[in-house]
Structure 1
């Protein structure tokens, strides 16, 4: 079996022998980035969200590609994600979108990582760490998070002005941005507009108090496409950068290219008579003579168990149904209707083969989840192969 050369997180290249992998098309990332830039216009910068291993695509590799494209900002979820990017030489500004603990403030300060600020506890920790600093370059960069209806982290918008004033008065802080996040942009236009209006009212109050905050952002992927009013001067696309559509109407509004394909190879083929059960729980019983192929991929790799007896894969350019329960490491498919299939044939679980395509959005619906969840579930056991 041909091995796959994979670069590990510490930069060492080693062989992977299991024939299951994900192709990541950096050219598609570049195309999607250009499409989003075209959509928002030249006056709106982009903060591309690369949290959760860049939605399963590889945080470092995607960030390196985006940096070459001139991305203004990168968004991550945790301090660990931000530090990893700095360790790999990423110079682009990085915002931690989550709330941190006081002990994380120092590492953010030392590594020039921008913090989300929404509590006096973190504000006081910044003041404590910087009280003896005399160099203006040691200011801690922050973006204040405003809660306009998400009900998660952030200062409630009704009382946020007082907090903004407190932060703006601190010389140890570079108040670089202020932002909010939408809870229902894909399904509740009324409430999303309420959130936008609440944020706009706060921004007006901030300006009336002669507080200058350079960056103002609110738009996630859905709002980037559907709510131009929310673009402000910085947009935060995530899913659409990776070529997935968070709404079924979006293909008419913006053309994207999926960046990831999930592939494997057939490792076993068995002739099966009628009346035999396939996999755990005997949920599939053969009704006629057929051929069942085994694939070395399962739910431990992120191929959801809920796809059992629902999904299809592509073999020799034709659809083949998944039969029986998807197991931890193996999945069975019915290839009885496809001529000439042999061990070692490539199988596409996500992506294109011949004239056909299997999209993540459809698999997510079959699995009873969303594309975000599905793509982030593809585990590190699946090596990523980067191509342009």
Structure 2
């Protein structure tokens, strides 16, 4: 297997699997899981993560058409639900590849139905079999204020029911599922999540009274799985917790134990000893107070390592904390290793993970630099190779170093 030394992330697939099993065990009997792998699996790698848990889930959720097709390109066969906007021009691929779009308005459904009818006519003209219906999931806005059919009052609810009723009869569309998204399930107080659940149930009951029964219902995100046991619908969507991270400080290890899947490493490339009064990095925001041993690490904000950790964060070297001094540069950062005995070039640097008794977590670093853990891992760039482990052994890697271009190069 290829080895890396400038920077690399290690993804523990056993941890991903363990986290999924913990969530499944917490759900009510019969509930299915949908694995959310958008933004390249929250920075962990969508394809390897999807392959690892494919036997444990109903299917996968992504945000974009490109993310959905990436899964299909790599042989992921189970259903893929697009949680965001669907480009109608991609309808033929959606039908062929069994990708489910989210429908959040009547005009969108009409366009999808219209495109399906054109696609069907083309198939019949070519002597091909009639295409299967396009399976869709209806989005209901119960309080997120993002996408979905409205139901803020009885008038809005009635109008939405009429529109969904019309959609259910549209040619080429099959309403497979309906969902909403919790805005505040990651809080100890479940009041808001319960309110959204009640609203969702009102929509379900209103549709049943109108003769519309939708087989697959799902509300819970990661926080809902942990705090509310998925609230008892058909399915729950596992996102950040699949990767061993918690949705908020209020959803923590007291509720359910997860194993962080990602660690981030580099190596020291230069060590020097300098006297008091030595300035470090851009802007001279750090000046040594006394004799200082400084190590340079070849990682920076160009890799997605936050500049906000300048003069605030730390790394682990030889089992000890080494504070970041000066500003994090695009490609390098400097740390004070004066208190790290025997430090030398090529020593391992732990940017996220454990080294001996010490630990530096995504949550630690995100809190220091004013981010949150989702943003931190999603922001890790393509200059960082991902190395995949199972049973502690490397089983694969993803190196983003070679880009493919079309048309202009």
Into which bin does the TM-score normalised by the smaller protein fall? Answer: over 0.9
Contact 1:105 1:125 in 2 (8 A): no
| SS of equivalent residue, structure 1 residue 156 | coil
Task: Report the CA distance between 1:126 and its aligned residue.
Answer: 2.5
Unaligned ranges ≥5, structure 1: 6-14
Task: Report the CA distance between 1:336 and its aligned residue.
Answer: 0.2
Cα distance change on mapping 1:130 and 1:101 into 2, 3 Å? closer
- Kindly indicate whether residue 334 of structure 2 is the aligned counterpart of residue 332 of structure 1: yes
Aligned partner of 2:154 in structure 1 is: none
Aligned partner of 1:59 in structure 2 is: 46
Aligned partner of 1:244 in structure 2 is: 245
For residues 172 and 86 of structure 2, the distance between their equivalents in structure 1, rounded to whole angstroms, comes to 18
Aligned partner of 1:235 in structure 2 is: 236
For residues 343 and 118 of structure 1, the distance between their equivalents in structure 2, rounded to whole angstroms, comes to 56
Q: Deviations over 1:328-350 (max 9, x none)?
A: 00011100011001100001010
Task: Report the CA distance between 1:181 and its aligned residue.
Answer: 0.9
| SS of equivalent residue, structure 2 residue 327 | coil
For residues 340 and 107 of structure 1, the distance between their equivalents in structure 2, rounded to whole angstroms, comes to 58
For residues 137 and 233 of structure 1, the distance between their equivalents in structure 2, rounded to whole angstroms, comes to 27
Contact 2:113 2:171 in 1 (8 A): no
Q: Which moved more, 1:291-300 or 1:208-217?
A: 208-217
Aligned partner of 1:369 in structure 2 is: 371
Aligned partner of 1:140 in structure 2 is: 134
Q: Which contiguous aligned blocks of 4+ residues in structure 1 show a shift greater than 6 angstroms?
A: none
For residues 136 and 35 of structure 1, the distance between their equivalents in structure 2, rounded to whole angstroms, comes to 42
Aligned partner of 2:18 in structure 1 is: 31
Q: Tell me the matched-pair count.
A: 374
Aligned partner of 2:394 in structure 1 is: none
- Kindly indicate whether residue 41 of structure 2 is the aligned counterpart of residue 47 of structure 1: no
| SS of equivalent residue, structure 2 residue 238 | coil
For residues 166 and 189 of structure 1, the distance between their equivalents in structure 2, rounded to whole angstroms, comes to 34
Aligned partner of 2:213 in structure 1 is: 212
- TM-score by length of structure 2 reads 0.88
Contact 1:182 1:218 in 2 (8 A): yes
- TM-score by length of structure 1 reads 0.92
For residues 217 and 337 of structure 2, the distance between their equivalents in structure 1, rounded to whole angstroms, comes to 54
- Kindly indicate whether residue 317 of structure 2 is the aligned counterpart of residue 311 of structure 1: no
Q: Deviations over 1:177-232 (max 9, x none)?
A: 00011222224743332211111111111222332211101111111111236341
Aligned partner of 1:290 in structure 2 is: 292
**Matching of residues 78-97 of structure 1 within 5 Å:** 78-97=64-83
For residues 117 and 68 of structure 2, the distance between their equivalents in structure 1, rounded to whole angstroms, comes to 25
Aligned partner of 2:200 in structure 1 is: 199
Equivalent residue for 1:75, pick from 57, 61, 85: 61
Contact 1:224 1:231 in 2 (8 A): no
Contact 1:302 1:379 in 2 (8 A): yes
Aligned partner of 2:402 in structure 1 is: none
Aligned partner of 2:162 in structure 1 is: 162
Unaligned ranges ≥5, structure 2: 152-156, 391-409
Contact 1:219 1:231 in 2 (8 A): no
Q: Deviations over 1:305-359 (max 9, x none)?
A: 0011111111001111111111100011100011001100001010111111111
Aligned partner of 1:190 in structure 2 is: 191
Q: Which moved more, 1:100-109 or 1:127-136?
A: 127-136
